[in-house]
Amino acid sequence: MKFEFRINGLLLPVTPSSYEIDDSRDIQTIESVGLGNVHVIGYKKLKTIVISGIFPCRDYYFASSRLYANPLYYVKVIQAHVDNKDIVRLIIADENITKINAQMIVQSIKWGESQHDNGDITYQITLAEYVKMHAPNVNTAETTIGGNNARP
């Protein structure tokens, strides 16, 4: 089964070796007199996704995209999303189904290479779920609090 990973339309050249999703809820433990420790269930946290893989420096037969020969190109594009605070669309799909299609924020990219990588760059991209804030409209009545009232 072949997966396809796209970040804002940029197809990652090699299917990442792994990805991990953290989908959790906030739970606080409080100490109650007579009951001991009690869990207070809070709100859902925003999802985070960590993608790990390589940006190749040569044309491998298993690469899904051979558009850019320089692996630093991919690092620079992803880093620009971090620096510009971009909201990106992450799509993870296989031949049969789209597993993830979500707006995300690129939180970080860790990358490097070792002498065993033969010029390929290994990376780890962390993305955080983006939720647009909706502030409700509030109607307020004009009132005067304190101060002097106008004199006739």
DSSP collapsed to 3 states, 82-99 = HHCCCEEEEEEECCCCEE
Integer Cα distance of 126 and 66 in angstroms: 24
The two tokens of residue 52 are 């790990």
Residue with more model confidence, 118 or 128 = 128
Query: What's this model's pTM, rounded to 2 decimal places?
Result: 0.76
- Domains within the chain, CATH numbers bracketed: 4-129 (2.40.30.200)
The alpha-carbon radius of gyration of the chain (Å, integer) is 24
Q: How far is CA 47 from CA 29, 37, 44, 59, 125, in A?
A: 22, 27, 9, 34, 14
3-state secondary structure of 61: coil
Per residue in 20-71, pLDDT (tens digit) is: 999 999 999 999 888 889 988 988 999 999 999 988 888 878 877 666 668 8
